[in-house]
Amino acid sequence: MRTVTKSTVTKPARTRAAALATTALALSLTACGTDSDPAASGGPGNADAPLTVAASPTPHADILGFVRDNLAEKAGLKLEIREFTDYVLPNTATENGEVDANYFQHKPYLDDVNAKQGTHLVPVTGVHLEPLGLYSSTLKKASQLGAGDTVAVPNDTTNEGRALKLLDDHGLIELKDGAGQDATLADIADAKGLEFKELEAAALPRSLEDVDAAVVNGNYAIEAGLEPAEDALALEEAEGNPYVNLLVVKEGDEDDPRVRKLADLLSSQEVADFIKKEYRGSVVAASDAS
């Protein structure tokens, strides 16, 4: 290739070369996009990009799968589902932009995470309720629990309080006056001889072989082959329950047209009918729990 020295290139030639380079760069960025371009990364700037949602496997990913396979195409939505088996990573992934939204948690848990972790996550719509239940491998009735028996409960703030309220509502313990939804073991006024083991929510079904009973979140109960409506010794009431599971996004993404489409589909009668048929009362559509 011939080398051209600076002295042989005229000013107009340099100007034309710069203009051509600028045009070529602009065309390249238009065609390929960059990491900072929302349309290139599939962010809110591109309504045609797939919407990636983090979800617990059951029932959340199953419900999203129904939407993807039966409703999304007609609505002009490309839906991708990424499954997580814990309650921490879906929020982390939503906060840092690895996924566009998540679907696995209720409002009290979301509020607790935002307060403790400094995240900026907001609910878009409520979808369903999973009634928390008390289960046992050996007992047939909740009333059979007695002094000396051990009950496992979730160790996260909101679900432990929820579990203790369930036990209090069924007369198995007595909470102190004023104990709210964030009640802990220290808020038990009368344990009636019961002992407690605090475990990560996902580990509770496995603990049934080692304890007399366990209070298990609905999604983990279903994954373990339990049917809350049939197998629970005690089950939360659905009507007026504040623990409806939500579609959640990072603050500022609520009006992403893809998010709005998914919210509308998740709130549809088709999804409510699917939940009723598929889970037979073990999962309740939000519209049926209000």
- The H or E element containing residue 234 is strand 234-235
Please tell me the distance from the alpha carbon of residue 284 to that of residue 245, in angstroms, as a whole number. Answer: 10
pLDDT value of residue 288? 87
One fold for 41-131+242-289 and 133-235: yes
pLDDT at 49 over 60: yes
pLDDT value of residue 45? 53
Which of residues 10 and 226 earns the better pLDDT score? 226
Q: Which one-letter DSSP state was computed for residue 172?
A: S
Please tell me the distance from the alpha carbon of residue 180 to that of residue 6, in angstroms, as a whole number. Answer: 78
Please tell me the distance from the alpha carbon of residue 11 to that of residue 33, in angstroms, as a whole number. Answer: 32
CATH number of 133-235: 3.40.190.10
Please tell me the distance from the alpha carbon of residue 139 to that of residue 280, in angstroms, as a whole number. Answer: 23
Q: Which one-letter DSSP state was computed for residue 50?
A: P
CA angle 196, 202, 206 (to 5 degrees): 70
Mean predicted confidence (pLDDT) in 185-195: 98
Mean predicted confidence (pLDDT) in 6-35: 35
pLDDT value of residue 14? 37
Mean predicted confidence (pLDDT) in 179-183: 91
Mean predicted confidence (pLDDT) in 223-248: 94
Intra-chain end-to-end CA distance of the chain, in Å: 76
* Beta carbons of 80 and 52 less than 8 angstroms apart: yes
Which of residues 81 and 40 earns the better pLDDT score? 81
So what CATH class is 41-131+242-289?
alpha beta
Please tell me the distance from the alpha carbon of residue 177 to that of residue 188, in angstroms, as a whole number. Answer: 10
Overall residue count recorded for the chain in this entry: 290
Mean predicted confidence (pLDDT) in 60-86: 97
Residue type, 109: Y
Tokens of 165: 């309220």
Mean per-residue pLDDT over the chain, rounded: 87
Q: Cα Rg for the chain, rounded, in angstroms?
A: 26
Q: What is the DSSP annotation of 13-69?
A: HHHHHHHHHHHHHHHHHHHH--TT-HHHHTSTT-TTSPEEEEE-IIIIIHHHHHHHH
- Cis check for the bond before 205: say yes or no (omega within 30 of 0): no
Which of residues 288 and 92 earns the better pLDDT score? 92
Please report where in the chains the tokens 């939000």 appear, as a residue. 286
Percent of the chain at pLDDT exceeding 90: 78
Q: How many CB atoms lie within 10 A of CB 288?
A: 14
Count CA atoms within 13 Å of residue 204 on its CB side: 35
pLDDT value of residue 55? 98
Mean predicted confidence (pLDDT) in 82-94: 96
Percentage helix, strand, coil for the chain under 3-state DSSP, each rounded to 5: 45, 20, 35
* Least trusted range by pLDDT, from 31-40, 47-56, 153-162: 31-40
**Residue 44 pLDDT grade (very low, low, confident, very high; cuts 50, 70, 90):** low
Please tell me the distance from the alpha carbon of residue 15 to that of residue 283, in angstroms, as a whole number. Answer: 68
Mean predicted confidence (pLDDT) in 278-288: 93
**Residue 4 pLDDT grade (very low, low, confident, very high; cuts 50, 70, 90):** very low
pLDDT at 13 over 80: no
* Boundaries of every domain in the chain: 41-131+242-289, 133-235
Least Cα distance to 245 among 79, 53, 72 occurs for 53
